Structure 1
Amino acid sequence: MSIDKFMKGSVAGWMKSSGEHADIVMSTRIRLARNLRGHLFPIASNPEDAKKVDESVTNALLNSGEKGYEYMRMSEVPLLDRQILVEKHLVSPQLTDPKRNGAVILSADETISLMINEEDHIRIQCIYPGFQLENAYEHADSVDNELEDRLPYAFDEEFGYLTSCPSNTGTGLRASVMMHLPALTITKQIDRIIPAITRLGMVVRGSYGEGSEALGNIYQISNQTTLGKAEKEILADLKNVALRLIAHERRSREVLLSKSRVALENKLFRSLGIIKYARLLPTGEAARCLSDVRLGIDLDIIKDIDMSILNELMIFMQPGYLQHYAKTDLTAEERDIFRADLFRERLRVKHVEKEDTEE
């Protein structure tokens, strides 16, 4: 097991580059749920059966000729490191429970995450930057095909892929886009848009999935059902909803610029001042300020901050990574102090580097 390299860099692979509509769509995720025939679902399984599933899946993928994968058994990963893997969106919170006998196989660039013995035997996750539904699906599908050639999937001719939760039965496909929607939130349009999206068969959650809040105006939009629709239809429906949201967000940004530019600039630069100079920075305030500064960069109002540093700080601000960086346990107040210190340090270093280059 080699987890160190996944801990060294705060920014996940998908955050290091940008894709289409990257000013609004931060990432695209595809997740495929699969189970092995002849084995109990993880919720009813026992350690022996879970171990057999783990060995079967691991051997199938690692012996497929594909290189660059790292295997980790969750029970052997320290608690803090498990939390960081969640904060980097590489594993789900459910997988970190050692009682699940779970494991994960990660690609070197962190694009592919294959979770073993989570809610289902196999969860194939593929994350791409920006708006890339088709590309992300093709990549996940290629991994799925590699496994299906070597493993006996639980499949029914009438119902499709059988899963632990009935809502995933069928294609087993959950497609989602993580979107930054500050203008719709500022203008309060998001409150009426979310119910409309739900009526279209989509689910709106926070950036960490079910049960999480939309910190920093970041929302995750995904399909709600997988039964009765083909994969292409699911992707097309989500793409249509996402494009409409992108258009609404762009119009809202234009309205804010034309009707409330001074008030908007004041809000954005105040947030920039907070993350540059604050001595105490709670998680919620840090997320809100990062959202404002991101919007300022996208609108070409704030010009002296690189977007890559904001992606980095999105991970820096999380409790697990703060404690990993501090190399000690921190109380809530200590985390707020340390978070502010990290933000000031990182922004100052970037500014100094830029000044040195100009000289």
Structure 2
Amino acid sequence: MSLSDFMQQAMSRWMKGGGPQDDIILSSRIRIARNLQDLPFPILQTDVHAEQVISDVQNAMAHPDVQKLGTFEFARCREMSQLDRHVLVEKHLISKDLADQVRHGAVVLRNDEVMSIMINEEDHLRIQVIMPGFRLTEAWQLANAMDDALEGQLPYAFDDTLGYLTACPTNVGTGIRASVMMHLPGLVLSGQVNRMLSAVSQVGLTVRGLYGEGSEAAGNIFQVSNQVTLGESEEEIINNLSSVVQQLIDHERAARRALLQQNREVLEDRVCRSFGILAYARRMDSKESLQRLSDVRLGIDLGIIKGVSAGILQELTVMTQPAFLQKYYGQELGPSERDIRRATLIRERLRLDTEVR
């Protein structure tokens, strides 16, 4: 199968780029945590409880109010290979915790992979919508529509004072986590990023790396999300996050302009060196590939590099991850072999746009 054909089948919609302010905002995500009334949280559930949750969700998914929101596919974790589960993690469609929940875990995916529903992860249900660009409100509207449709069929655990009950106290209340994945090379290169992100943490938001909690901000990619779910409405949470993110966007744009004006030759050299390395390298580890891709994406956005699609950062950030590489090449790969195949895949992807050989 050609890389182009594989990409058409394997890429989620958010990986293709597009959307408002997508030169900085790679994706917007809404996640809603819900549990079923009178059933123990997953950490305490028995096999019988887990099967009841799965059965109840499957029945609810068959209702016309749910079906009108798209075409969905259900899969148990134990019926997927370990490789396929980890591909879904790398595509940000399920969590690593769910991928490891082989016995009781399951997932519902919409055919375009904009929406996924994790079953029996930390909570009974985690409804997620992920869209390209700065589209928090649109993502919330779709996630809320699914939440309402399921709540019409399922008895949610709810308290009149506390709100929706969740396994982790930090999610009690609305149960909503809103986040954006941001590409901030201007702030990093200008030495401003730590100060900016420290200020963000002072206003009730948290900053994590590419794959959420515990991951590093590789490739100048950061996830910014709300910390508080209790005492604020969903709209307030989204509005507060959107306001802060817009300020980060403004600072990032200013930093990029300053780099162009004050250090254009240095910036162009950095960008073009990274492009050349990606176009011709025969070995590439994951950390270097992400940094080089970040440089190239910055060059594309600033007009330094032409003829390469802007979505290449989202695409290759995921496609060069270990499980995705092995899925594409159809075989198990050790670390050294992955470095070779990673470089090959990047060269092939660049050729689709530039015919570099």
Same fold by TM-score greater than 0.5: yes
- State whether residues 10 and 316 of structure 1, in contact with CA within 8 Å, keep that contact through their aligned partners in structure 2: no
SS class of match (2:198): helix
Separation in 1 of the partners of 2:248 and 2:17? 22
One-letter code of the match for 1:9? Q
- State whether residues 271 and 290 of structure 1, in contact with CA within 8 Å, keep that contact through their aligned partners in structure 2: yes
Once structures 1 and 2 are overlaid, which stretch shifts more, 204-213 or 325-334?
325-334
Q: Provide, for residues 185-230 of structure 1, a one-character-per-residue CA deviation record: whole Å limited to 9, x for no partner.
A: 1112111122211111001001211111111111000000100111
**Aligned match of 1:307:** 310
Give the unaligned 5+ runs of structure 2: none
- State whether residues 10 and 315 of structure 1, in contact with CA within 8 Å, keep that contact through their aligned partners in structure 2: no
Aligned Cα RMSD in Å?
1.7
**Which of 62, 69, 72 is equivalent to 2:72?**
69
One-letter code of the match for 1:84? V
Question: Are residues 1:82 and 2:97 paired?
Answer: no
Q: Provide, for residues 160-187 of structure 1, a one-character-per-residue CA deviation record: whole Å limited to 9, x for no partner.
A: 0000000000000000010000010111
Shift of 1:8: 6.7
**Aligned match of 2:29:** 29
Shift of 1:262: 0.3
**Aligned match of 2:16:** 16
Question: Are residues 1:191 and 2:191 paired?
Answer: no
Q: Provide, for residues 308-339 of structure 1, a one-character-per-residue CA deviation record: whole Å limited to 9, x for no partner.
A: 34432222210001111222211111110111
Once structures 1 and 2 are overlaid, which stretch shifts more, 28-37 or 339-348?
339-348
**Which of 273, 276, 283 is equivalent to 1:273?**
276
- State whether residues 268 and 293 of structure 1, in contact with CA within 8 Å, keep that contact through their aligned partners in structure 2: yes
Once structures 1 and 2 are overlaid, which stretch shifts more, 310-319 or 135-144?
310-319
Q: How does 1:131-170 map to 2 (within 5 A)?
A: 131-170=134-173
Question: Are residues 1:60 and 2:60 paired?
Answer: yes
Shift of 1:134: 0.9
Separation in 1 of the partners of 2:104 and 2:6? 21
| Corresponding residue pairs, total | 350
- State whether residues 87 and 318 of structure 1, in contact with CA within 8 Å, keep that contact through their aligned partners in structure 2: yes
**Aligned match of 2:100:** 97
Separation in 2 of the partners of 1:292 and 1:22? 16
* 1:212–1:78 CA distance, 2 compared to 1 (3 A): same
Separation in 1 of the partners of 2:293 and 2:352? 17
One-letter code of the match for 2:218? L
Q: How does 1:127-276 map to 2 (within 5 A)?
A: 127-276=130-279
SS class of match (1:260): helix
Q: Provide, for residues 324-355 of structure 1, a one-character-per-residue CA deviation record: whole Å limited to 9, x for no partner.
A: 12222111111101111111122124323x99
**Aligned match of 2:46:** 46
SS class of match (1:339): helix
**Aligned match of 2:116:** 113
**Aligned match of 1:292:** 295
Question: In percent, how many aligned pairs have the same letter?
Answer: 50
Separation in 2 of the partners of 1:260 and 1:11? 36
Shift of 1:304: 2.2
Separation in 2 of the partners of 1:207 and 1:309? 16
**Aligned match of 2:349:** 346
Give the unaligned 5+ runs of structure 1: none
- State whether residues 17 and 26 of structure 2, in contact with CA within 8 Å, keep that contact through their aligned partners in structure 1: no
